[in-house]
Amino acid sequence: MANFEAQVRESQEQVAQAQAKISELTGRIEAARSKMKTGDDISIDIENATLDDVHAHTDVMNANIAELIMGLDDVTAAFSKDFDEMRTKTGWESVIGIFSRAKSDSMRQERIRTANIDDKLQDLIGKSDVITKLLENQLAVLNEQKTKVEANLTETLDEREAAVASLETIRADIQAMDPDIITLENKISVEQDASARTQLESELAAMNNKYNELVQQEQVKVAESQTLERYIEKGKTWVDSLQNQAATQMVLINKLQTDTKQRVVLYDALTKSLKTAQQQDVAHRINEIGVETDKEAQTAMAAIGAATNQKMADMLEAHEGHMVFARDVLEQKAKADERFARRFAAIVEKHDSNAYGG
């Protein structure tokens, strides 16, 4: 991937921007929490704590990283072609084979020996690791921010529960005063004695003052409860967003890790295939030589054949375990690819149709 480094730098910038937005939003929510403790109005802080900007940055970041992952898939697919080319002779090697089979085989063996297969695989795994580190760093930030907000949210939920309980107590006190006030007003309406009437009116005034104080306390508690409710709602929304973002990062990380396993399996399988092909070539030549040798040579070749058969039997026995492992990895990859394709359907479609820049 010629532009891999440039894409990684772009992704790093986008990750930094997304993390700045995430920290800023968490900071606004925490600032609102501080203001709330002092009784200040937090409406502006809460309303300004919008998720839109954060989501815009994270969507761009994830789209870029998803395209990087799709690019690595393309490079992996090209591995098979590289191995196929190594397994067969080149045009020039075939031409040389017309005049000298030994020279042709020697050229092919040297080409296989010097092929930079392992370096290519390690380069691909290294690129996967670079992307994985980006994603793991982002996941750590998301979890850190979620822990902060959840701690504030838990404290605020307790405060709102206490505020609602206090509000219910005040409302019960107000409701309990209503019959007493009505009874006192009825007494005043029928009282004939001026002195007694004055006493009753003083009692009613005191009761009304207490009633009004309770009503005022009710209004304060209602406002407090509403403020806490707005804060809780914003906090819950932000925690949900952080959880969803974390889930996206985990899908990407899972696909990369599974892809890396699959690449190692692919490399191992194709390398074994090349070695097997080479062994078959050697076996054919040994057979041709054996026909023309004397008895002593035939005895030696029989020993070699027995050793070769034993080696082949060992390889076939090991092959079953290898295939079981490979099948498990391929099943894991299929599941990881399905999760990835479901979450990043638009990016997969653009990649498959080569509709870039549209």
At 289 the pLDDT is 47
Residue 318 clears pLDDT 80, i.e. is over it: no
Mean pLDDT of the chain: 75
Between CA 83 and CA 267 the distance in angstroms is: 9
Q: What is the pTM of this model?
A: 0.67
Contact 339, 257 (CB under 8 A): no
Angle, vertex CA 280, rays to CA 279 and CA 283, nearest 5: 85
- Spans of all domains in the chain: 4-159+236-353
Per-residue pLDDT reduced to its tens digit, 177-235: 888 888 888 888 887 888 888 888 888 899 889 999 999 999 988 888 888 888 888 88
Task: Determine the number of helices (DSSP H) and then strands (DSSP E) in the chain.
Answer: 9, 0
pLDDT band for 168, please (50, 70, 90 cuts).
very high
- Give the number of other Cβ atoms within 10 Å of residue 206's Cβ: 10
Lowest-confidence pick of 13-27, 28-42, 50-64? 28-42
> 26 is written with which tokens?
């968490």
For the range 283-290, what are the long-range contacts, defined as Cβ-Cβ under 8 Å and sequence gap of 24 or more?
283/308
Biggest CA pair distance of the chain: 148
Instruction: For residue 159, give every residue at least 6 positions away whose Cβ sits within 8 Å of its Cβ, in sequence order, or none.
Output: 228
> 291 is written with which tokens?
């026909």
